[in-house]
Amino acid sequence: MLLDSEEAMQAGLDALCAQDAVMAGIVHGGVRPKLRKRDPGFAGLAAIVVSQQVSTASAKAIWGRVSERFPALDAPILRGADDEALRACGLSAPKIRTLRAVAEAVAQGDLPLDDLAGYDADAAHEALVAVKGIGPWTADIYLLFCLGHPDAFAAGDLALQEGARLAYTLETRPKPAELLTLADQWRPWRGVAAKVLWAYYGVQTGRGGTGEVG
């Protein structure tokens, strides 16, 4: 079941609360993540790549220029675009290389973006990070927010780590490997747990409980 409707989100929350008393306490205490979904496919993944290591405002501005210059962005269009046009949109050389690597992987059939929603979360993650330039965070954010994969989990996300620290009263913010160990108890609903922890982090820090990073 993909997280593509409020009904699916509720089913995930119910299952998660039945599995974990801490999660149940957070959800029953009024913290509810909103259903947020971005466009899937090449353009959705490209937008996440663009947002890496820049401010939200900068990412929005750069992506706006990319969308204006390439309104129907897909793998073939990106493969045919010259570097000068991409740089003019504000894309750095490393991001251009990553986007080209993704476009090539899609074109060669090595990265079946349209099929990843049906993969096991770990297999889908591995398919994405096999592409040069796609790191764990980008892979998991794509799976969760573009595809609505219910078991995707971005253990490297700092806000998610801090949300877990606050929720489970940990002495220190868990490292990615530690957070993955904690998250095992939430399978196959780790994506729902991630959204709950992001929302909880937002509430606790006064940044709002949207259930999405960025």
Helices and strands in the chain: count of H runs, count of E runs: 12, 0
Considering the domain architecture, whether residues 86 and 166 belong to the same structural domain is answered as no
CATH number of residue 169's parent domain: 1.10.1670.40
Determine the pLDDT at residue 37: 83
Q: b or e along 107-145 (b: 16 or more beta carbons within 10 Å of the residue's beta carbon)? A: eeeebebeebbebebeebbebbbebebbebbbbbbbbbb
Residue 213 belongs to some domain of the structure: no
Considering the domain architecture, whether residues 15 and 55 belong to the same structural domain is answered as no
- Total domains in the fold of the chain: 2
Considering the domain architecture, whether residues 60 and 107 belong to the same structural domain is answered as yes
pLDDT in tens, the chain (214 residues): 899 999 999 999 999 999 999 999 999 999 999 887 888 999 999 999 999 888 889 999 999 999 999 999 999 999 999 999 999 999 999 999 999 999 999 999 999 998 999 999 999 999 999 999 999 999 999 999 999 999 999 999 999 999 999 999 999 999 999 999 999 999 999 999 999 999 999 999 987 543 444 3
Residue 189 belongs to some domain of the structure: yes
